Chains A and B, each alone.
Chain A
């Protein structure tokens, strides 16, 4: 309940375009995801951070599916559950599907902010994207530039930079699906 009351305003502000609130939302969610997946994937600790990243990307790309009358915890849990099951299927982990996953409180019962190294490097995957998506992401992320500065350096329009980041993140999620 507490988690819900803390996360909900952050997500709602994020959906209205508030970068800071959205970042805090993702940060807290990532800690819950990490603890949840470390427990679930005790046999495969190397895979945890990859799946945390993949799930965060899915949450971001699907944030338009959040309905304001729905608990954030239920929504986020459903996404985490879906990505986790999808991962289990892709890796043909036998028996793992028998583990009940229906309890939304499980995801938020603990948190772990100690990130491990991701095994799959999203940075390398990024290199496979076309320039109009890659360059905006590289400048905005690696160099921490604003959209306006990125637009000036790349010669793209500001809206092209935003669209490039946006489509690039979707493409990145699709590449991950292709590689797992």
Chain B
């Protein structure tokens, strides 16, 4: 086939394109991934018994807010990574802000606590399982986010995969927060982020393998 013939053929397929097709795809992946994570949380762990009382605690909402803001930051980065030739702009700053604030709060909490209490604040009572549970709940979102990226054209595949993994981790943490009994910021600053790091690393590894176009 000559190149001119190919061009003619491509022009025949010039169906109108929606300008926000990428954003729509990410919105769908985010909702589907979160829903999947919630279902998995109900099946595997169940909602914590004291959930209703906990709703009076600011830390309960703080956990949800942290995971939700991180997810927003991820989407802001991903919609740029998904497009060829688009720089990252300020989106990385938006992404970095939630963890930085959390680490700041955790440092303050540790500084105010007595030396004997510090280890307890970091380890809580569920440190052995927390990170793996979050990673497990991120699986549906992980698949959904990679699917969303496969409909786009990322040129930095490892970074795009990592971004999809982090978004999935944030959504998994959002679901897990309804089960998790921990309320101390030092615990969250370590184990929630460790839980999100697992799908992030998996995404960075998978990106170059499944996102080629």
**A residues within 8 Å of B by Cβ?**
14-20, 22-23, 26-27, 30, 49, 52-53, 56-58, 60-68, 70-71, 74-79, 81-82, 86, 104, 115, 117-118, 121-123, 126, 137, 140-141, 144, 147, 162, 165-166, 169, 173, 177
Q: Offer 9 A-B interface pairs, CB within 8 angstroms, sorted by A.
A: A16-B16, A58-B213, A64-B22, A78-B86, A118-B3, A122-B1, A141-B1, A165-B13, A166-B15
* C-alpha spacing A122/B7, complex, angstroms: 12
Q: From residue B151, how far is it (CB to closest CB) to chain A in Å?
A: 8
**B residues within 8 Å of A by Cβ?**
1-19, 21-22, 82-86, 152-153, 155, 212-213
Supposing A65-B82, A78-B84 touch, asked if A86 and B6 sit within 8 A by C-beta, the answer is no
Supposing A23-B8, A58-B213, A81-B155 touch, asked if A65 and B83 sit within 8 A by C-beta, the answer is yes
Supposing A23-B8, A82-B155 touch, asked if A67 and B1 sit within 8 A by C-beta, the answer is no
Majority DSSP secondary structure for residues of B touching A = loop
Tell me whether A65 and B152 are in contact (CB under 8 A).
yes
Tell me whether A141 and B17 are in contact (CB under 8 A).
no
* Chain A residues closer than 8 Å to B213, beta-carbon distance: 58, 61-62, 173, 177
Q: From residue B168, how far is it (CB to closest CB) to chain A in Å?
A: 21
* Chain A residues closer than 8 Å to B19, beta-carbon distance: 15, 67-68
* C-alpha spacing A20/B7, complex, angstroms: 11
* Chain B residues closer than 8 Å to A58, beta-carbon distance: 153, 213
* Chain B residues closer than 8 Å to A66, beta-carbon distance: 83
Tell me whether B155 and A30 are in contact (CB under 8 A).
no
